[in-house]
């Protein structure tokens, strides 16, 4: 029997392959020892772990306001809630994103308006323009799988219609485009510190805002009651009454904030590793004609934590077989649109939005996105990957594609050596 490229697991966060150093663990251990886990205790804002983390975020991202919260989903929802949109307002978002994006829109009281993605799986600005109307009250743009969306074009549409933009930068912390971080182009930006993100606290996230009043509302909504929102302002706070807003208890705790703050020291190194490994792999498979590697909207505008390529000349069944064959070679690979995989990054699996509709009826709502996702294979690239791991990935892709080109043989897994695919965003 043909020997697999590798027989040991592909490194992913859910197997413990995370970019967390022993030195990073000192801060949360100290926070535990302090026995002060609530961010709004007797201490001054600048003496809390969350306060120090938020200050570091402001410096790193170059923003005036940052709020540590319980998740990226909470951050998106707070970004929208703080805009005080009317109940049921339409909020545009892409059809290729994690299910948390439309879920956050629902949580904020809006209704998702799904927008097509282009062949590189980017937010399709032309489709956004076609679907715009006075009923659309906001846009949530997603920098999905670490690739920046076309912010100048999206902001031009938003400015034309005079509506706000919230960036779901959950999968793109650290990505800089034109000297500016993703998440800082729009009116608000939402980030995650979940386990496979640039900062890893297990669960968590944060929101950044430009406008002080919007930020103050978000702070109150996150759970800063009885005037505690004022602690977030060095000078006079905006004139809002916190009793006018509900409290959703989306606060980050001190332990997670301590860990996230400690990890920021090594964030540049993590980003450097991701980009170096990604560029190396892409360069080594560039000659494979049947593969179309996802291209950024501007050169270099990607993190490199996920390799996505399309097989534009293949049926979805063949794409599924290619992904399965890569798994049998010891590389976690996922056909994004496999019928046997309830991948919540594919809009037709968001059944909570489409009560009573079949998957086929839902797919027909965004035909271009359906087609592009049906051709796509997604491979996670952890920052713990070594150059040897990258070489294994290159060999596996070349081997599978060469076998397909030479014989069109069945590419289904050959034995029980198939490595379980990791859930990644």
Note the pLDDT tens digit of each residue in 265-303.
999 999 999 999 999 999 999 999 999 999 999 999 999
Interatomic CA distance for residues 91 and 163, integer angstroms: 10
Total domain count, the chain: 2
* Same domain? 182 vs 223: yes
Residue 405: the pLDDT is 79
Please report, rounded to a whole number, the percentage of residues in the chain having pLDDT higher than 70: 95
Tell me whether residue 2 is exposed, middle or buried, using C-beta atoms within 10 angstroms of its C-beta: 0 to 12, 13 to 18, 19 or more: exposed
Range of the domain at 362: 267-409
273 shares its domain with 215: no
Please tell me the predicted confidence (pLDDT) of residue 172: 97
Indicate whether 311 belongs to any domain.
yes
Report residue 408's pLDDT band, with 50, 70 and 90 as the boundaries.
Answer: low
- Is the pLDDT at 421 greater than 80, yes or no? no
Q: What is the mean pLDDT of residues 373-378?
A: 98
Are 130 and 279 members of one domain? Answer: no
What is the spatial distance between Cα 271 and Cα 20, in angstroms, rounded to a whole number? 13
Whether 417 shows a pLDDT value over 80: the answer reads no
Q: Are residues 313 and 384 in the same domain?
A: yes
Residue 46 has which token pair? Answer: 């600048």
pLDDT (tens digit, 9 = 90+) per residue, 231-250?
A: 999 999 999 999 999 999 99
Is 3 part of a structural domain of the chain?
A: no
Q: Is 197 a catalytic residue?
A: yes
Interaxial angle between packed helices 254-263 and 26-34, expressed in degrees from 0 to 180 and rounded to the nearest 10: 160
At residue 144, what are phi and psi to the nearest 5 degrees?
A: -75, 135
pLDDT band at 425 (very low <50, low <70, confident <90, very high): very low
pLDDT at 2: 83
* pLDDT for res 402: 94
Active-site pick, 15, 160, 197, 230: 197
Distance between CA atoms of residues 159 and 156, nearest Å: 5
pTM: 0.94
């Amino acid at each position: 029997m043909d020997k697999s490229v590798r027989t040991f697991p592909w490194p992913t966060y859910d197997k413990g392959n995370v970019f967390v150093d022993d030195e990073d663990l000192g801060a949360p251990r100290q926070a535990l020892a302090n026995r002060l886990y609530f961010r709004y205790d007797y201490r001054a804002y600048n003496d809390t772990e969350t306060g120090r983390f938020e200050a570091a975020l402001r410096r790193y991202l170059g923003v005036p306001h940052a709020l540590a919260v319980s998740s990226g989903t909470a951050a998106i929802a707070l970004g929208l809630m703080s805009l005080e949109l009317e109940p049921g307002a339409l909020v545009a978002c892409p059809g290729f994103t994690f299910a948390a994006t439309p879920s956050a829109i629902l949580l904020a009281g809006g209704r998702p308006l799904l927008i097509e993605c282009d062949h590189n799986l980017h937010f399709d600005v032309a489709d956004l323009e076609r679907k715009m109307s006075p009923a659309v009250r906001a846009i949530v743009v997603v920098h999905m799988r670490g690739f920046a969306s076309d912010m100048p074009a999206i902001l031009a549409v938003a400015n034309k219609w005079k509506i706000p933009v919230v960036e779901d930068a959950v999968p793109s912390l650290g990505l800089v485009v034109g000297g500016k971080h993703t998440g800082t182009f729009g009116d608000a930006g939402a980030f995650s510190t979940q386990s496979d993100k640039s900062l890893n606290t297990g669960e968590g996230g944060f929101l950044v805002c430009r406008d002080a009043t919007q930020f103050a509302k978000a702070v109150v909504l996150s759970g800063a009651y009885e005037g505690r929102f004022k602690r977030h302002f060095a000078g006079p706070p905006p004139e809002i009454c916190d009793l006018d807003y509900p409290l959703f208890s989306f606060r980050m705790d001190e332990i997670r904030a301590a860990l996230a703050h400690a990890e920021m020291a090594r964030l540049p190194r993590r980003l450097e590793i991701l980009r170096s490994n990604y560029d190396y792999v892409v360069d080594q498979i560039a000659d494979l004609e049947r593969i179309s590697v996802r291209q950024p909207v501007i050169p270099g505008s990607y993190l490199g934590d996920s390799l996505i390529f399309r097989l534009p000349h293949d049926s979805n069944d063949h794409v599924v077989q290619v992904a399965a064959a890569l798994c049998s070679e010891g590389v976690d690979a996922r056909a994004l649109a496999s019928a046997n995989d309830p991948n919540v990054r594919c809009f037709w699996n968001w059944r909570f939005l489409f009560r009573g509709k079949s998957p086929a009826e839902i797919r027909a709502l965004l035909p271009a996105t359906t087609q592009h996702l049906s051709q796509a294979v997604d491979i996670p690239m952890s920052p713990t990957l070594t150059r040897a791991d990258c070489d294994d990935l290159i060999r596996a892709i070349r081997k599978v594609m060469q076998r397909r080109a030479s014989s069109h043989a069945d590419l289904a897994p050959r034995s029980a050596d198939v490595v379980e695919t990791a859930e990644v965003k």
